[in-house]
Amino acid sequence: MKQEKEELIFRKRLSDLANTADLRGCCLYSDFLNLNEQTIFLNLKYELPRIKYFTFGGFQDAERKILCFCGNEAISEESEIEYPINCIKITPVNIKFSDKLNHRDFLGAILNLGIDRSKLGDILVNENGGFLFCHSGISSFIAEQLSRVKHTNVTTQIITIQEFDYKPKFKEVIGTVTSVRLDSVLSVAFHGSRSSLSGLIEGGKVSVGGKIITSNSYTLKENDIVSVRGYGKFIYTGTTYQTKKGRYSVKLLIYS
C-alpha cells in the first residue's frame, strides 16, 4: 500500500512538471531517477503532454538519470540541453594509506552530510578514489563538506564532464547454463541458485539495458548490460560453445 501511494505521488510529480514545462514553453528537470522510476516514466509518457523528453546522467552508461521536460520548441537536439549535473572527483589524501573504498563507503559518507539520495547520480569507484555525479545545486556543498570516506581523508574537486575520465575494470566469469534465461545467467554471475535469485527479478531489482525486467525467463542478447540492485553489474557477452550435454558456455564481464 505504501509503495502504491509513493508511486502515485511520483506519477503526479512527473505530470505536474510536464504540464508546467508545456504551459511555460521551458525546460524543467526531475531529480535523479533510479531504474524503477525511469520505467514508471516510460509507462506514463503517453499520458503526458506531447513535448520532448530527454534523460541523461552525466555520462553515456549512467544508470541514475535526470529527466528533462522540454517544452521549449526551439530546442530540437539533446546536445542543446543544459542538465543541472556536476561531477565531483574524490581522491584520498594519501593513496598509500587509504582504505579499500567501495561504492557503499562513498554513498554512506555523502548521505551522512544530510544529502537526499534523489540529488545524487551514479558513483564510480576506481583504485585512486571515485567520481560522484550530483545535482549542480549541491555540488559546492558536497565538495566543501566531504573530507572523509570511511577512515580515509579525501580531497574533492568539481570537474567538467569533459575532464571526466574513467575506464571500468572487469572480472571475467565463465560458466555453463541450460539456456540463456536471465535467472540462469544471474546464477553464474553471482554464484547463487536460480531460486534464490529469481526473487530479485520478480521484485523489480534487475534491469537489462536500463529497463526493469520482471520475468525470470527473459532471454539475454549479446552485450546486454545487466544490473542487479545490491549485487552489481555485468555485461553478457554471449555464448562461446555448446557442450555435449547441450549446455551453453557463457562469458560475463563483471564490473569490479
> Of the given ranges (195-199, 203-207, 219-223, 246-250), which has the lowest mean pLDDT?
195-199
Site of grid cell 543544459: 82
Position 81 scores a pLDDT of: 93
Q: Provide the β-strand partners of residue 86.
A: 134
- The domain 2-80: what is its CATH number? 3.30.1370
Per-residue pLDDT for 1 more than 70? no
- Convert the pLDDT of each residue in 22-32 to its tens digit: 999 999 999 99
Which tops the pLDDT comparison, 20 or 242? 20
Superfamily in which the 85-163 domain is placed by CATH: RRM (RNA recognition motif) domain (3.30.70.330)
Position 2 scores a pLDDT of: 67
Report the C-alpha gap between 158 and 144 in whole angstroms. Answer: 10
What is the DSSP code (8-state) at residue 78?
Answer: G
- Convert the pLDDT of each residue in 55-72 to its tens digit: 999 998 899 999 999 999
Over residues 205-215, the mean pLDDT reads: 88
Superfamily in which the 170-255 domain is placed by CATH: RNA-binding S4 domain (3.10.290.10)
- Convert the pLDDT of each residue in 139-185 to its tens digit: 999 999 999 999 999 999 999 878 888 888 889 999 999 989 999 99
Q: Is residue 234 within a helix (H) or strand (E), and if so which, with residue range?
A: strand 232-242
Q: Quick check: 230 and 206 in contact, CB under 8 A?
A: no
Specify the domain boundaries for CATH 3.30.1370 within the chain.
Answer: 2-80
Confidence class for position 10, pLDDT limits 50, 70, 90: very high
Pure H helices in 96-180:
103-111, 136-145
Q: Mean pLDDT score of the chain, rounded to an integer?
A: 91
Q: Provide the β-strand partners of residue 21.
A: none
Per-residue pLDDT for 210 more than 90? no
Specify the domain boundaries for CATH 3.30.70.330 within the chain.
Answer: 85-163
Question: Minimal CA–CA distance to 156: which of 178, 134, 172?
Answer: 134
Position 204 scores a pLDDT of: 85
Position 199 scores a pLDDT of: 85
Specify the domain boundaries for CATH 3.10.290.10 within the chain.
Answer: 170-255
